[in-house]
Structure 1
Amino acid sequence: MGDNIVPEGAEQDFITFAKKNYIILSIVGSLMGFAIFVYLIGRCSNRKGNNFVIFNFLLICYDLAFDIAFLVKNANDVPGLFRPALIILIVSGSINLTFGFAIMIHQRIFNPAFSHWLKENHRFAALITVFSAANIQALKIISSNFGGMEITSAKYSANGQRAIAWIGVANLGIQDIPQLVILVNYWLKTDGYVIFPFISLILNVVILFIDFFGRIYDAVIISGDDDGTTRRLNNRSSDSTYQYSMRVGAP
């Protein structure tokens, strides 16, 4: 331990550390409370919705913010950590965003029910697609039926659901676990408590714990065929198109 690095601003005593950083810790506590509050609102409004998706997404956003803060403020404290931390953020963000756009385009072309929803909610869909750079799981928001709202009632095909699930599993290997390794490495090579690595490590562990089983479950359980709801909506969309054509005298 004597050879470990003591970062600037590090505190050896946790109580002293907590007192010194009580404002940031209070903000983090408030953000966690807000995430729980949003989840409860969605659950009270619609118990059948996948309201936990919003809670998990907010945690992911918080984690990303502190990962960036760690990269900018603390990664250089330990030689050799800055570059891999930067690469993880860039590579994972690029992969998530690329697949996010690909999934949305695929659903737009091959899923009539989704296409119909997209026409009415294209701005919200575009926003969520951009947010998917943080984590592909953001795409689940638009199909979560959070609060029973129409903007969260999109219906992915089973292929779309499976793509999101498996890319989420891949994220464990290219984003979550490597980031955890970097943070653990930082703590092993430094002495004392430092605010950004401390919070980032806690959030990373919590998200990894939540996501690991959820992503594996999603990837394995989703059936190979379209779910019944999507099929019914697609059939309904086709029927509506046919009926409209008959009314206007189309051949």
Structure 2
Amino acid sequence: MIIANELERNVLVKREEVNTTIQEFVGEVRHEFHEFTKLNPIILILIGGFILSIIVFYLFARLKYPEGRSTIIFTFVLMIVDFCFDVIFVIYNVGAVPVLFFPSLLTLLVPAGFNLLFAFILMVQQAYSNKLFREWLHRNHAIAGGFTILTMINIEVFRVLTSNFLHLDVFKAPFSHSAKKWLFIAGLFNVIVEDIPQFVILILYFKGVGTNFTLIPLLTLVISFLSLLSTVINRVFELVSFPSSSSTFHTHNRNRNSFYSYYHYPAYDAYDHYDQ
């Protein structure tokens, strides 16, 4: 009976500690957002205008050419914002928990180096072995080079080039079926060595600083979670729906409006005949 009472008392104490911690955390979150609203109104207007312009641009693209994957706008912006906040967090905030600095730096540098090398090799391989890709690259070499560099941020940047956005030629990169599979594998690698570790580091950071945090780490945590969630959902759908090379051409019509169109578009299905 004494042991049972002691266990019950310990449970109540732990529950009270958890409730107190949550209340303090929520209180600090409210405080940080309240401080954010005190910023220069021009900054708030610029932020609101930026978000509104993205939504308007998406609606325009959706109405202009519904067959294209217009949601790539949100994906691309999320990748850019996520990377920017990760860099700011490493430079200005993670030092509050010194043991996390080196791991945080690694989660930025290792994926960036891998992505750039992978993207360069993939572009060279496709230019050498895929005639239609070589012709596309000749027409859009400047944009393709820019996006290759941007893969340092995230290998998913290459998805913009296959999005058929606004039916523009530059966004119809005819990657072969094998190249798409390698992009899928590279995306999984990024999840393992970048997205998940960064999210874990942020959790450990908040555990280390308690309620003594600022708005930047909080926004970094939220954006990191959204980015990780989006990436995981995309990987799961791709794993389920990614077709074999032998069935790619025949299955497109049945999957035109499905997630399969994430990679394939009517004018470019024939490119898969150039797979190596």
Which TM bucket (shorter chain)?
0.7 to 0.9
| TM-score, normalised relative to structure 2 | 0.75
Larger RCO, structures 1/2 (Cα 8 Å, 6+ apart)? 1
Query: What one-letter code is carried by the residue in structure 2 that aligns with 1:211?
Result: T
Q: Give the TM-score taking structure 1 as reference length.
A: 0.82
1:16 aligns with 2:36: no
Task: Tell me the alpha carbon deviations over residues 23-64 of structure 1, each in whole angstroms, 9 at most, x when there is no partner.
Answer: 499465554444433332322221111222231111010010
Runs of at least 5 residues in structure 1 that lack an aligned partner in the other structure: 2-9, 237-251
- How many angstroms apart in 2 are the aligned matches of 1:122 and 1:142? 12
CA distance in 2: counterparts of 1:221 and 1:234, whole angstroms: 17
Which residue does the alignment assign to 1:208?
A: 228
CA distance in 1, matches of 2:273, 2:235: 29
The equivalent of 1:150 in structure 2 is 169
Identity percentage of aligned residues: 26
Determine if contact 2:175/2:271 at 8 Å carries over to the other structure.
no
Which residue is equivalent to 2:243? 223
One-letter code aligned to 1:19: H
Q: How does 1:1-251 map to 2 (within 5 A)?
A: 13-22=28-37, 23=39, 26=44, 30-190=49-209, 191-225=211-245, 227-228=248-249, 230=268, 232-233=270-271
Residues 104-153 of structure 1, C-alpha deviations (whole Å, 9 max, x = no match): 11111111111111110000000011111111110111111111112111
Give yes or no for contact 1:169–1:216 (8 Å, CA) kept in 2: no
Equivalent position SS for 1:81: helix
CA root-mean-square deviation = 2.6
Q: CA deviation at 1:184?
A: 0.7
Q: Which has the larger radius of gyration?
A: 2
Read off the aligned partner of 2:234 and give its amino acid letter: G
Distance 1:233 1:97 in 2: 24
Cα pair distance change 1:116/1:52, threshold 3 Å = same
State the 1:232 CA deviation: 2.8
Larger displacement relative to structure 2 (137-146 or 25-34): 25-34
Q: Would the aligned equivalents of 2:176 and 2:272 in 1 still touch at CA under 8 Å?
A: no
CA contact (8 A) 1:162 1:219 kept: no
In structure 2, what is the Cα distance between the partners aligned to 1:218 and 1:20? 41
Which 4+ residue blocks in structure 1 deviate beyond 6 angstroms? none
Give ranges in structure 2 of 5+ residues lacking alignment.
1-16, 18-24, 250-266
The total of aligned residue pairs comes to 228
Distance 2:50 2:239 in 1: 30
Aligned 8 A contact 2:85 2:216 in 1: yes
Q: Answer yes or no: is the 8 Å Cα contact 1:161–1:222 preserved in 2.
A: no
State the alpha-carbon separation in 2 of the partners of residues 107 and 218 from structure 1. Answer: 21
How far residue 231 of structure 1 moved from its aligned partner, in angstroms, is 5.8
Compare the two structures and name the one with the higher helix fraction: 2
The CA distance in 2 between the partners of 1:65 and 1:162, in whole Å, is 28
